[in-house]
Amino acid sequence: MGTARELLQKKLRTLHSPEMPIWLYQAESLPNRNFITDSEKELIDLVRKYGEFSKADLVTYTDYSRTKITSCIDSLLNKKIIIGNNATEYTGGRRSKTFSLNGDLGLVAGVDIGATSVDLGIADFTGKLLVRYSEPASVRNGPIKILGQACSLLEKMLKENNLSSEKLNGIGIGVPGPVDFSAGTLVSPPIMPGWDRYPIIQTVQQWFPSANVVVDNDVNVMALGEIYQGAGKGVDNLIFVKIGTGIGAGIICEGKIYRGSSGCAGDIGHIEVNKSGPLCHCGNKGCLEAVTAGPAIAERSLIGAKEGKSPILLRLYEKNGNTLRAGDVGDAAREGDALAVEVIRESGQFIGDVLAGLVNFYNPRVIVIGGGVSNLGNLLLSSIRQTVLKRSTPLATRNLHIVFSEIGPDAGVIGAVNLAMDYMFTITSGNGERD
């Protein structure tokens, strides 16, 4: 027993933090693991976030001496985690050599499971997408069918593009429900029957045994995508708001995902905005999601159209086989339909009311609006902006930017790739490191 305890303690000491998730304890036994120190990880994270760096850049952005930076770079070069690039453009002094991640070190997959689709991408170690694919899928079909569909598609993508599954070092997965991050499982997801506590990581690793699998809420994953390659690139404090079938927020605090004590931070869709509003699937009335998510926008518009307030919306409803979607409301608004314009503006005000509270409380630098409903366009965005500016303090909004996502439907896939990259390395003890 004593020996087993000592081995466990030794393994735990090699991890970056005692709060590391349970599934990462097993990562050292996986193939393709890369062992690095805390200092080396800090340099890797800087290169991932900002691109290639020179030694002088790294000295500037860290508290390390040039000697230590040189030692870390030499170690990472020997491990083939980074590569040296040609000297930078001549600026009058000595040309500085730059360093970047070695894209050939391995492959990373991103899987974004939405309510009605699955989006997949395969990237190299620099985060560059090599392959991208999307397919309709309903999460209501359960985890066995959906995970099987995602994994078989991933296998197909690897094979058709002559990519080796043995080089697949990591898989990041975003799912549309509350996630216990330490266990890598969903907890009572409202729109995902059969997914509660289902072993997603173990299931996917049966297909890809060489890959470390990481699971998180889809909105957290999208927020990651934005800070690495989207509208929030280089931003440390950001809120990503997904408006689609549901509504949720991903919070980036000091450059990292903020999940809260139980992993459900950012569930803004169930903040009450109208006491007499419609019943939400959570059991309460007037939740933001029940009032302004895609289905709610379509339903409110349809009611008005049937009351004779919008011939345009009624025509679209009949044209689509007695179905009205949020996108149709956007199309009608662009034609100048008064009811559609009113519904979109009202929805933006409700969303803005909630975001104003978040701005006063959290003071983010950027708020990024994404999800399918964001396609309603600038009318929605301007309504959100006006409400936030009206209801937030001047200091909190002085440098605030509220923008649409720059990477749109790719946010989830790019974020899932970067989620996997966050846990690609095993951090060894920093004992013996010198400044």
Rounded to 5 degrees, φ, ψ at 337 are -65, 125
For the segment 83-139, what is each residue's pLDDT rounded down to a tens digit?
Answer: 998 755 555 555 678 999 999 999 999 999 998 899 999 999 999 999 999 999 999
Average pLDDT, the chain: 90
Q: Which residues of the chain have pLDDT under 50?
A: 1-18, 431-432, 434
Residue 196's beta-bridge partner residues?
186
**pTM for this one?**
0.89
pLDDT at 63: 85
Beta-carbon count within 10 A of 306 CB: 13
7 phi-psi bin (left φ>0, alpha ψ -120 to 50, beta other)? alpha
In order of their start, the domains of the chain are: 31-104 (1.10.10.10), 106-225+414-421 (3.30.420.40), 233-406 (3.30.420.40)
Closest CA to 230 of 53, 358, 418: 418
Pair type for strands 238-243 and 247-253: antiparallel
Q: DSSP labels for 60-85?
A: HHSS--HHHHHHHHHHHHHTTSEEEE
pLDDT tens digits for 379-431?
A: 999 999 999 999 999 999 999 999 999 999 999 999 999 999 999 998 886 54
Could you tell me the two tokens for 313?
A: 């919306």
- How far is residue 329's CA from residue 345's CA, in Å, rounded to a whole number? 12
Supply the DSSP symbol for 135. Answer: E
- Rounded to the nearest 10 degrees, the angle between the axes of helix 311-319 and helix 338-362 is 90
Count the Cβ atoms, other than its own, within 10 Å of residue 102: 17
Closest CA to 179 of 287, 281, 280, 257: 257
- Angle 395-397-399 from CA coordinates, rounded to 5°: 95
Tokens describing residue 323: 């179905």
